[in-house]
Amino acid sequence: MNKILVVFITFFLFAKNFAYTQTLPDSLQGKLSAKSPKEQVAYLLKIANDNLKKNASVSFELAKTANEIAIKNADKNNEVTTSLLIAKSSRQIGKSQEGLDYITKAIQILTQANQKQYLALAYNEQGLLYKDLNKHSDAANAFQRCANIYEELNDKKNLYLVLGNLGAAYDKAKQNKQAITIFQKAKTIAEELGDKKEIALATMQLGVAYANYGNTKEALNVLNSAKEIANSIGNVALANQIQTNIDNLNQKLAVKDKTEFEKEKEREQEQYISSLKTEYEQIKLQSLKTFEEIEKLKIEDQAKEYRLRAIQGEYEKQLLENKMKEQNLKLLEAEKKQKDAEIMRQNETLAYQKRVLLIVGVSLAVVIILLLLVIRLYLSNKRTLNLVRQQKVQIERQKDEIELINKELAHQNTIIRESIDYAKHIQLAILPSINTIRKYLPDFFVFLKPRDVISGDFYWFNHINNKSIIATVDCTGHGVPGAFMSLIAYSLLNKIIKEYQITDPAQILSQLNKEVLETMSQSGDELDNSMDISICKVDHSTNEVYIAMAGHSCIYITPSKKIEELDGKDYAIGGVFAELNAEYKNFIVKADKNTAFYFYSDGFPDQVGGAEKKKLGNKAFVGILVKTNEIEPSQRAQYLEQALVEWKGDKKQVDDIIVIGFNI
């Protein structure tokens, strides 16, 4: 609901040596001038965070401005916070090198302050920046520092997440062995956390790492294991992804190029065979030379030589016996050491028993001391018992007074509730009658569901000169504030269309924007008093439909079931950053008979629900409208009610909801 239209087109045209306040729009400078430096930083950070996903360039520049203010005022905490936001937004707009400078300063500050939790976040962001710059070795170093901190803090969940980044960095840097080691560690942590989905994911990453290293056999075993885990939890998407990796690996097996793993194993095998061959040739050469020398000798010399060989054999036998004696001596020595160890163990047992006796003695002394303290405490409590009784009387008296106050609060709550219920009655009373609208648009229906008792969403209708004008309005806020804004909007629409006789939708929005800005400027506050609105004019004589929107989108479905979506989300009505002379666009549709039109606020698409507890989203909501279009118009509101209940489940409704539709 709270939409902020940021117009910083001139932001980038100012020179760097200008003061930071000179680079901001006048409306924002005015709001900052009345705030303290810390409040200025907080205000800019809020706007920058809101725009991080919608407009990262605006978020980047606002965070830089906030960073300048923090540095100027020696605000180290906000200097770190703004630097982290600058780094995040810089990655989205292709300015990672600039973001790297800021995150490096933040790391220096956090290191000096020994803020390990935030230092880990900063190192992770630094790694992501290096990754975007294709500096994968530097990225791996940053992720490793982050992992070391999380390991020191025993934060296994965040350690698992950053290990995924670290393994990917090693993989990109062609350091395959390191990648395998990291993914093995990530798999172990996932198993300790007990999350089967993450176990399957970590196992898949390990298999891919083995495949990149070239160990295809182990890669296939690991990937098949990952697929079994994914199938066991019914995660079809993950199982299909793993199967794709398996198929790609099998295709690579058909190509007989040797992998790094296979080349390394082959080199080791060749070295081993070469050493065996060299040793064999040396032995063979030595043996042949010895026998040739013997054959050259005379017969008597040969006998002497063989006798020498026999003596040599006896000598070698004696050496063997000596070695056996040495072994026996070593065995005896080992037995002696074992006995010494047993004696030492017994001595340690005696020492342990002495320590136990000492502990028991000290414990008994402590018990006696505690007993004395308890006795003293009892005597002290006995003396204070009268004081406690007096305090009890006072408490009972105060209890009676509190009960009276609670009764009064309950009475006031009843009055407020009755007032809100009556306000709901008034709000419903001013809404156009559906039967009146159906005189001109027979298939008209409306699904209006406030988040609270009263709503900031409403619809408006008027028929003039054979033209039907219908508005779908979503005011800022909900409950009582939204209801007050809806009354203002309703009154202004009556004034513009019925008094000023303005019937062109785009002109109606322009005039409404001026009226809202003039009306709300009298309050002097800084609230976002804006609204999103769709204006539709149906010319019954030509079957032409004129549509203008501010912050809304709508769809229409032709008789041939073609779905057309019109987007008017560029400008809202009113608000902090609205322009007084904002112009809006008319969409003109030449409608065939039975063309269906649907207008709606963002309440239904933004509703949280489903199995993953996330927003429905505009695409899924359009799908619901397509199904709605297939049933009778009189049943469409009930169908939307049922669809909302099924999606929302036990989650609380997050915003007011309005959906209107009709057929030409």
Q: What would the DSSP string read from start to end of 538-591?
A: EETTTTEEEEEEESEEEEEE-TT--EEEEEE-S--EESTT--TT-----EEEEP
Q: Tokens at residue 101, please?
A: 């400078």
Cα gap 64→319, rounded to integer Å: 84
Q: Are strands 596-600 and 544-550 parallel, antiparallel or unpaired?
A: unpaired
What's the confidence (pLDDT) of residue 447? Answer: 97
What is the tens place of the pLDDT at every residue in 2-21? 333 232 322 322 223 233 44
What is the tens place of the pLDDT at every residue in 595-625? 999 999 999 999 999 988 899 999 999 999 9
What's the confidence (pLDDT) of residue 4? Answer: 30
How far lies 165's CA from each of 142, 147, 565, 588, in Å?
10, 10, 39, 51
Cα gap 61→20, rounded to integer Å: 10
Cα gap 549→536, rounded to integer Å: 9
- pTM of the full predicted structure? 0.44
Sheet of strand 563-568: strand arrangement = 445-449, 657-663, 596-600, 552-557, 563-568
What is the tens place of the pLDDT at every residue in 316-333? 666 666 677 677 767 767
How does residue 393 score in pLDDT terms, banded at 50, 70 and 90?
confident
What is the tens place of the pLDDT at every residue in 397-425? 898 889 888 888 888 888 888 878 887 88
Is 534:568 a contact under the CB 8 Å cutoff? yes
The length of the chain in residues reads 664
Is 619:605 a contact under the CB 8 Å cutoff? no
Contacts 24+ apart (CB under 8 A), 74-77: 75/37, 75/38, 75/41, 76/109, 76/113
Of 153-162, 292-301, 461-470, the range with the lowest mean pLDDT is 292-301
Conformation bin of residue 477: beta by default, left when phi > 0, alpha when psi is -120 to 50: left
Is 205:186 a contact under the CB 8 Å cutoff? yes
What's the confidence (pLDDT) of residue 6? Answer: 30
